[in-house]
Amino acid sequence: MSESITVAGVSVDTRHWIGGRRVASAGTFTDHSPIDGSAVGEIARGGPDEAEAAVGAARDAFPGWAATPRAERARILHAVADGVEKRTEELAIVETTDNGALLRSHRRGVMPRVAHNFRFFADWLLRLDHEDFETRGHTNHVSWDPAGPCVLITPWNAPLMLATWKVAPALAAGNTVVLKPAEWSPLTASLLADIAAEAGLPAGVLNVVQGYGSEIGDALTSHPDVRRISFTGSVPTARRIAASAAANLTPLSLELGGKSPLLVFADADLDLAVDLAVEQYDNAGQVCLAATRLLVEEPVVEEFTRRFTEKASALRQGDPRDEGTDIGPTIHPRQLEKIDGFVQRALAAGARAVIGGHRKDGQYYAPTLLTDVAQDSEIVQEEVFGPVLTLQTFTGEDEAVRLADDTRFGLAATVATGDRERAERVTARLVAGTVWVNCFFVRDLQAPFGGSRQSGVGREGGTWSFDFYCDLKNTVTAPEGWDQDHG
């Protein structure tokens, strides 16, 4: 196989990165661009042998990296961030080509967030502390000890940002990493390996392996030398990972998507509420946090729908490399089939498409709003992961909360209201890991992030990330009994 490909003028190595060197595989898989379906290149297709090599490299590198002083680990992570910033344009165009998200978003928001992930956790590491406390004169000292090799399995919808959301705290904590990016969008993970090496990250501390979950993923998640597994993706895959990790009791952090609601009360600023609703089409609806269920109080539903339809219909869908494009393609033909299947079954069951409801040319799906949907219907209960929203009505807070909480998920929720006390009452009753009031997608890395119910297990962000990626130790020291003549 060719060792590298050129993507929009950027050279990307298609081999694995294991133990500080590039490693080829006997087999490959083809990576396609969702923009036009063209083949981008052949990517090394790893299996059990590559998994064993990567975990072995991480295991061998762990003692040295774990013993590296905090300040030096932080310095190297800041150097990685510097490298990301220097290559922002390259990373942006490669990722847009690979996963179809808007180039303007990658330039202005996503890649700067990638660099911020490294800087934030590097800085948080230096302030990570727990005040000593006494128990009957004995001193308790809490410490965060590196856990060991970590396997990080990341999704395709925001490949580098979500990968570094895991990689940065894992490395900051003193762990070594095996990163397995999604096979539909593997390219920027390979570039990250180059950037990390150039920043001085020691060989074996970060390893990147590519391939299918059934071939390399199982070998990684069942490996007895792996001390942590973090996964973002679907519930069925999470169940498989959890079963694989169970034999070794490997701790898991799972972020599994959702079916989040947007509650619009009659006292809300309707222009704001409509803006929030239309924003859910971001990244062609391929966002785990998206509020895909619009719940609107009956007195304003007609006006809300009119304004929403007008604003959503003005969105421009097309090539994500164009500055004026608002919505790009779906990631893969299989995902397009899945989205359309959901919509067509809903229409056959009696739903009405206010807008959209159909495919467009290539891998593009029209922004869709479905109404006349039952609460227990598939389209309301299951995650579509595409530009498809549903609209339901409610009367009063009790019904709004009942509808909002009536799914097996609990990742996020958004509330639009002009009444502060109502916001406090409603948010207290919502089952969600994150609730936004009169805003959406405001994220601070020091806040806990994760889902309830089948939206996930655990929380990451700030100290919560270090709690997961470390073994917490409490050392209790007696006040007396020291040999005063020693030393």
Residue 285 CA to residue 367 CA, distance in Å, equals 9
Q: Tell me which H or E stretch contains 53.
A: helix 48-67
Q: Tell me which H or E stretch contains 52.
A: helix 48-67
Q: What is the pLDDT of residue 482?
A: 72
Residue type, 477: T
Q: What is the pLDDT of residue 475?
A: 96
User: What residues are paired with 36 via a beta bridge?
Assistant: none
pLDDT at 374 over 60: yes
Residue 102 CA to residue 50 CA, distance in Å, equals 33
Mean pLDDT confidence for 281-295: 96
Residue 105 CA to residue 102 CA, distance in Å, equals 5
pLDDT at 183 over 80: yes
Q: State both tokens at 26.
A: 């006997």
The helix/strand/coil state of 441 is coil
C-alpha separations of 84 from 7, 8, 80 in Å: 17, 18, 6
Mean pLDDT confidence for 271-279: 98
Burial class (CB in 10 A: 0-12, 13-18, 19+), 417: buried
Sign of CA dihedral 193, 199, 202, 206: negative
Q: Are strands 261-264 and 293-297 parallel, antiparallel or unpaired?
A: parallel
288 included as an active-site residue = yes
Q: Measured between alpha carbons, how far apart are the two ends of the chain, in Å?
A: 61
The helix/strand/coil state of 37 is coil
Look over the chain and give the mean of its residue pLDDT values, rounded to a whole number: 96
Contact 335, 364 (CB under 8 A): no
pLDDT tens figures, 439-467? 999 999 999 999 999 999 999 999 999 99
Residue 86 CA to residue 192 CA, distance in Å, equals 12
Neighbours of 27 (CB within 10 A): 14
Q: Which CATH architecture has domain 261-437?
A: 3-Layer(aba) Sandwich (3.40)
Q: What is the pLDDT of residue 336?
A: 97
pLDDT tens figures, 215-254? 999 999 999 999 999 999 999 999 999 999 999 999 999 9
The helix/strand/coil state of 372 is coil
Mean pLDDT confidence for 99-108: 96
pLDDT at 198 over 50: yes
Which of 49-53, 151-155, 435-439, 481-485 bottoms out in mean pLDDT, i.e. has the lowest?
481-485
Write the DSSP string, 247-260: TTT--EEEE-----
**Topology of the domain covering 4-256+451-474:** Aldehyde Dehydrogenase; Chain A, domain 1 (3.40.605)
User: What residues are paired with 263 via a beta bridge?
Assistant: 295, 415
Q: What is the pLDDT of residue 487?
A: 47
Q: State both tokens at 321.
A: 């490399």
Nearest in space to 383 (alpha carbons), one of 454, 438, 321:
454
pTM of this structure: 0.95
The helix/strand/coil state of 355 is strand
Q: Tell me which H or E stretch contains 150.
A: strand 150-153
Q: What is the pLDDT of residue 447?
A: 94
> Which parts of 257-365 fold into alpha helices (H)?
270-278, 301-313, 333-348
Mean pLDDT confidence for 371-381: 98
Q: Residue 341 — pLDDT band, cuts 50, 70, 90?
A: very high
Phi, psi of 59 (to 5 degrees): -65, -45
Angle at 106 between CA 294 and CA 19, to 5 degrees: 115
255 included as an active-site residue = yes
Mean pLDDT confidence for 93-109: 97
Q: What is the pLDDT of residue 485?
A: 59
Mean pLDDT confidence for 407-416: 97
Contact 168, 121 (CB under 8 A): yes
Q: What is the pLDDT of residue 2?
A: 73
Nearest in space to 479 (alpha carbons), one of 124, 120, 138, 115:
138
Q: Residue 15 — pLDDT band, cuts 50, 70, 90?
A: very high
Q: State both tokens at 69.
A: 């002083």
Q: Residue 1 — pLDDT band, cuts 50, 70, 90?
A: low
Q: Residue 481 — pLDDT band, cuts 50, 70, 90?
A: confident
Question: What torsion do the CA atoms of 390, 391, 393, 396 make, to the nearest 10 degrees?
Answer: 70
Catalytic residue among 50, 90, 95, 288: 288
pLDDT at 33 over 80: yes
Residue type, 139: T
C-alpha separations of 179 from 10, 259, 366, 423 in Å: 22, 27, 34, 40
Nearest in space to 195 (alpha carbons), one of 76, 276, 335:
76
Buried b (16+ CB within 10 A) or exposed e, 71-94: eebbebbbbbbbbbbebbebbbbb
Catalytic residue among 255, 297, 383, 460: 255
The residue ranges of every structural domain in the chain are 4-256+451-474, 261-437
